[in-house]
């Protein structure tokens, strides 16, 4: 016997095309006085894809992850993060589908000469997700990033030779955004205390 849909069922199905595409849409947050988040990629970290935080806001868990070399933290950076949509041709009445986002993190890191071997190893590893922070929030990828370390030397006696780091990844969803763990990005943390 064929199932008949009520008008409410039909309204709830508007916009779906393939079976299983129904989504539960959470309520948006709205405030008359939204909290401002100030920019600049101020810090970054690399996280082994086989490591998962239980509570990413817990500083003690960060200390253990750093000591075990599951996470590498660079507290002093400056840079930018951008996202570009990856669109594909749609079907039926849908002109285009948003398939994923191409994400690019570009930042500078001042610990130069001593980190040559580290960045040479990282560029070939392909097993590290990337995370970064702004004023009070941290953001991180769901997938490993392509790591592109490079540097240049300017014709300027006052210029600094620093790492020019690029991280690229493509993922389906917008990167995670959570509150920054206290004290993790306040200073360099040695993996061998």
Burial tier of 89 (Cβ tally within 10 Å: 0-12, 13-18, 19+): exposed
Q: Report d(CA 39, CA 135) in Å as an integer.
A: 6
Mean pLDDT, the chain, as a whole number? 89
Q: What is the pLDDT of residues 84-113, one digit of tens each?
A: 999 999 888 889 999 999 999 999 999 999
Q: Please, are residues 175 and 132 in contact by the beta-carbon 8 Å criterion? A: no
- In a 3-state reduction of DSSP, which class is residue 46? strand
Q: What is the CB neighbour count within 10 angstroms for residue 71?
A: 24
Sheet with 176-179, edge to edge strand ranges: 71-74, 43-48, 128-133, 137-140, 176-179
- With beta carbons less than 8 A apart as the criterion, state whether 142 and 126 touch: no
Query: Pairing state of beta strands 43-48 and 71-74?
Result: antiparallel
pLDDT, tens only, 5-60: 555 454 444 444 455 567 788 888 888 888 899 999 999 999 999 999 999 999 99
């Amino acid at each position: 016997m064929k199932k008949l849909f009520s008008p409410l069922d039909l309204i709830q199905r508007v916009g779906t095309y393939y079976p299983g595409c129904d989504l539960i849409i959470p309520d948006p947050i709205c405030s008359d006085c939204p909290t401002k988040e100030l920019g600049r990629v101020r810090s970054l970290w690399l996280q082994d894809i086989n490591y998962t935080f239980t509570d990413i806001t817990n500083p003690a868990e960060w200390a253990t992850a750093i000591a075990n070399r599951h996470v590498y933290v660079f507290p002093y950076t400056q840079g930018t993060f951008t996202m570009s949509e990856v669109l594909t041709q749609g079907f039926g009445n849908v002109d285009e589908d948003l398939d994923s986002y191409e994400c690019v993190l570009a930042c500078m890191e001042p610990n130069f000469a001593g980190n040559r071997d580290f960045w040479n190893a990282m560029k070939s590893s392909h097993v590290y997700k990337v995370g970064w922070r702004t004023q009070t929030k941290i953001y991180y990828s769901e997938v490993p990033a392509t790591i592109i370390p490079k540097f240049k030397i300017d014709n300027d006696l006052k210029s600094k030779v620093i790492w020019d780091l690029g991280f690229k990844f493509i993922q389906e969803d917008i990167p995670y955004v959570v509150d920054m763990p206290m004290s993790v990005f306040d200073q360099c943390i040695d993996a061998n205390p």
